[in-house]
Structure 1
Amino acid sequence: MGHDIYFYEAFEEEEQSLRSFLPADINAGFTWKTIQEAGHDAPPAEIISTRTQSIYPPDWASRLRAILSRSTGYDHLLRYRRESGFSGPLAYLPLYCNRAVAEQALMLWLMLLRRMPRQMEQFARFERDGITGGELGGRTLAVYGVGNIGREVAGIGAALGMRVVGVDIVQRHKEVSYVTGEEAAAEADIIVAAMNLTPENSDYFDESFWRRCKKGVIFVNISRGELSPAVVLEKAMEAGIIGGLALDVFNHEKALAARLRGGEKNDDDEVAALMRLKEKDTVIMTPHNAFNTVESVRRKSQQSVEQFLHFRETGRFIWAV
C-alpha cells in the first residue's frame, strides 16, 4: 500500500480542495471513480475515504484499518460492518452540508411550484399557457426527519411564510411543530424527505403513505433514495397524487449511476422507472449534488482532513460511527 489515505469519488473541485488542506508530507491518492469503477483488487491504502456509491469489497475487511465516508449519512458503513464483519473505525461528516442541502430542497420545491421546467421549455415559443405557478405563503411544508438538515429546511420554510410541521421520532427542536407522519401526509402541500436511513424506515414512502396525501402534493427527497422507491413514486404520479417530484437521491443509485455514466444495461425495475420519470416536465432530478456548493466543499475537505489527521495521531475519529 503506497498511500497514507486514498480518496474515492473525489470530483475535480473536491480533489483540489482536499489537496489544499492536506499537509505536504501526506501521500494521498485520488480518483473520481467508485471502488467498483476503479477496479482495484486490493485497497490502495490502509485508510480509504469514499462517498456513498462505492461498494466496499468484503475481502478488504481484514486489510483496511479505517474507513472515512465524506457524507452525512452512514447507513452504508453500518451495512458493510454488518455484512463483512469489519471491526475497524468508521467515520462520517455530520455537519458540513446542512445549509447547502436545505437550500437545494428549497430550490427544487420552488421550481416545481412555479413549473420551471415547463417555463424553460416554453421560452423558445414565448408561450405562457399552462405555466401558472403558486406562491409559498400559507402553504404547508412537512419535513420528515428534523435533524441537522431537516431543521434548516424547516427554518427556511418558516422564514418564507409557510406553515411548517415536522415528523421525527426524536423531537429535539422547540421551534418546530411536530405532528405524526399520518397527520403530516394529510395536511402537506410540499413534503421534504430529510430522514436518515435505517432498516426500519426503508420504503417509508410506500403506496399506503401516498394514499393519505392530498392530490397534487410536491415531493422532494434530498436524503436517501431507499426511502422512496421509484416504482411507487411513478404510480403515485400516474394517479395524480404527486403533482411534482424532485429527487437528488435514488433507490438503487449505484445501478442508476452506472446506467447513466457508462450506458450499462440492466433489468432493474427501479432504474427503468427513474428513466421514465426523468422525461416528465413535472420531475426534476439532480445527480446527488445537493451538498455541492463552494462553501460546503471547502467545509467537507477541511473536516475530512481533520478527521484523517486526528485518527492518524490518536487512533480515533472526531466524528465516529
Structure 2
Amino acid sequence: MKILITEARDFSQTAIENLERAGCEVVARQYDYEELKNNIHDFEGIIVRLGIKVDKLLINSAPRLKFIATPTTGIDHIDLLAAKERRIKIISLQGESMFLKTITPTAELSISLMLNLMRHILPASQAVLAGKWERDRWIGRSMRGKTVGIIGMGRLGKMTAKLTKNFGCQIVYYDPYVKRTKYTKAETLAELAKTADIVSIHVPLNGETAGLIGAEYFRQAKMGQLMVNTSRGAVVREQDLIKALEAGRIGGAGLDVITDEMNGEISKCPIVKYAKKHRNVIITPHIGGATGEEMRKVEEFIVEKIIRRQEEAPVVKIK
C-alpha cells in the first residue's frame, strides 16, 4: 500500500518506520493544498493533520484512495460526505477514550489562555519590548475564588476542570449529556452564562453545537466574563463575540480556533482584525494539541491503528 503523509514536518520517524515495516511504501511531504491536489492521485492512503481542508475536489483527485487517517479527535477538516460517497474509510482518534485520557496539551493550553487573560501577560511583555516598564499598568486578577464555567464536560472539559480546581476555583458546567459529576451542574447554558467569571469551551462541532455561543448567550453573560475556546471556531458566533467584547459584556477572549482558520487569508477574518487593535483578545493557530511529545505519541498511535485496521476500519457514519 502506498501512503502519503501530507504534513511531514516533525512527523514521528518511528511512525514512518512502523508503516514501512508493515510493508507500506511511505512518501512524506510538506504539501500545500494545490501541491497535494496535484500529487494525491497515486496514493491509497493519506495521513493528514489540520493544515489542509480535505474537500470533495481533493478526494475526487485521488481515484485510488482507500482511507484518510488523521491523528485528531475532530474530523471537520475532512469532507465526510465525499468520503462516504467514495467508500473511503476515515481513521481518527474518535472513540479512543482510554488512549485520549493520556493526552493533556489542549487542556493545558486552555489554562494558559485563562492565565494570559487574567494577568495580561502578552500585552505586558509587548510593552516591555517597546521599552516600557509599567508594573502598575498591568494589574491583573487572581484565579483563586473565581467561578470557571465548563461548556462540555467530556474528556477535555474534565481535564480543564481538574486543573482550574487546583487554582482554588469553583467549577460549574453545562452538558446536557452528562448527568452528574463532582462539580456543580448548570441545568441551562443561560445559568452558566450568568454565574461564570471565566468560561472554557470543550464541545465537538456538530449540528447541535455550531453557533451555540451567540448573541443570546452574550446577553446573559456575567459582565466582564472571560471566554476561552479550544474546541472549534464555529461553535462561537464571532460577530456576536466582537459585539460583546466592544460592549464590555465579555472582558476578554482566548481563542485557539476561529471559524475561518482554514480559508487561507487569516488577516481578513473579523476577529483577527479586532485582535490587532485590542489587547483583550489572544488568538493562537490551533496549537491545542501541538506539543512535540504528544504529537509523536498520537501519530504513532494512528499508524498502529492503520496497520491494525487496514481492512476493517469503519466508514464514519454521517448523520
Answer whether TM exceeds 0.5 for this pair: yes
Unpaired runs of 5+ residues, structure 2, are none
Q: Is the 8 A contact 1:143 1:164 kept in 2?
A: yes
Work out whether 1:126 is the aligned partner of 2:124: no
What's the counterpart of residue 90 of structure 1?
A: 90
Within-5 A mapping of 1:5-154: 5-10=3-8, 12-16=9-13, 18-19=15-16, 21-24=18-21, 25-36=23-34, 38-40=36-38, 42-52=40-50, 53-58=52-57, 59-60=60-61, 63-77=64-78, 79-81=79-81, 85-94=85-94, 95-96=99-100, 98-123=103-128, 124-154=131-161
Work out whether 1:194 is the aligned partner of 2:202: yes
RMSD (Å), alpha carbons: 2.6
What's the counterpart of residue 294 of structure 2?
A: 296
Work out whether 1:250 is the aligned partner of 2:239: no
2:288 partner letter: A
Unpaired runs of 5+ residues, structure 1, are none
Distance 1:107 1:19, change over 3 A: same
What's the counterpart of residue 243 of structure 2?
A: 235
Normalised to the residue count of structure 1, the TM-score between the two structures is: 0.85
Match of 1:317 among 282, 307, 313: 313
Work out whether 1:259 is the aligned partner of 2:256: no
Q: Is the 8 A contact 2:90 2:314 kept in 1?
A: no
Distance in 1 (CA, whole Å) between partners of 2:124 and 2:193 is: 28
Instruction: Write the deviation string for residues 4-55 of structure 1: whole angstroms up to 9, x where unpaired.
Output: 2112234x22254533543344321223334445332643411112124423
2:71 partner letter: R
What's the counterpart of residue 279 of structure 2?
A: 281
Q: SS where residue 209 of structure 1 aligns?
A: helix
2:197 partner letter: D
Instruction: Write the deviation string for residues 151-179 of structure 1: whole angstroms up to 9, x where unpaired.
Output: 11111111221111111121166333221
Distance in 1 (CA, whole Å) between partners of 2:151 and 2:309 is: 34
1:86 partner letter: R
Within-5 A mapping of 1:172-191: 174-179=181-186, 180-191=188-199
Distance in 2 (CA, whole Å) between partners of 1:8 and 1:117 is: 33
Q: Percent identity?
A: 25
How much does 1:76 deviate? 4.1
Q: Is the 8 A contact 1:35 1:56 kept in 2?
A: no
Distance in 2 (CA, whole Å) between partners of 1:172 and 1:86 is: 39
Instruction: Write the deviation string for residues 184-225 of structure 1: whole angstroms up to 9, x where unpaired.
Output: 111111111110011122111111111110121111110000
Q: Is the 8 A contact 1:71 1:93 kept in 2?
A: yes
Aligned length: 305
Normalised to the residue count of structure 2, the TM-score between the two structures is: 0.86
Q: SS where residue 138 of structure 2 aligns?
A: coil
Q: Is the 8 A contact 1:15 1:30 kept in 2?
A: no
Distance 1:82 1:176, change over 3 A: farther
Instruction: Write the deviation string for residues 208-250 of structure 1: whole angstroms up to 9, x where unpaired.
Output: 1111101211111100001113222211111111111111111
Q: Is the 8 A contact 1:192 1:219 kept in 2?
A: yes
Q: Is the 8 A contact 2:20 2:26 kept in 1?
A: no
Distance 1:19 1:83, change over 3 A: closer
Q: SS where residue 126 of structure 2 aligns?
A: helix
Distance in 1 (CA, whole Å) between partners of 2:43 and 2:316 is: 19
Q: SS where residue 300 of structure 1 aligns?
A: helix
Instruction: Tell me which moved more, 227-236 or 281-290.
Output: 227-236
How much does 1:128 deviate? 1.7
Within-5 A mapping of 1:199-214: 199-214=207-222
1:316 partner letter: E
Distance in 2 (CA, whole Å) between partners of 1:36 and 1:193 is: 33
Instruction: Write the deviation string for residues 72-91 of structure 1: whole angstroms up to 9, x where unpaired.
Output: 112444x4226862323212
Q: Is the 8 A contact 2:253 2:281 kept in 1?
A: yes
How much does 1:276 deviate? 2.9
Distance in 1 (CA, whole Å) between partners of 2:314 and 2:112 is: 32
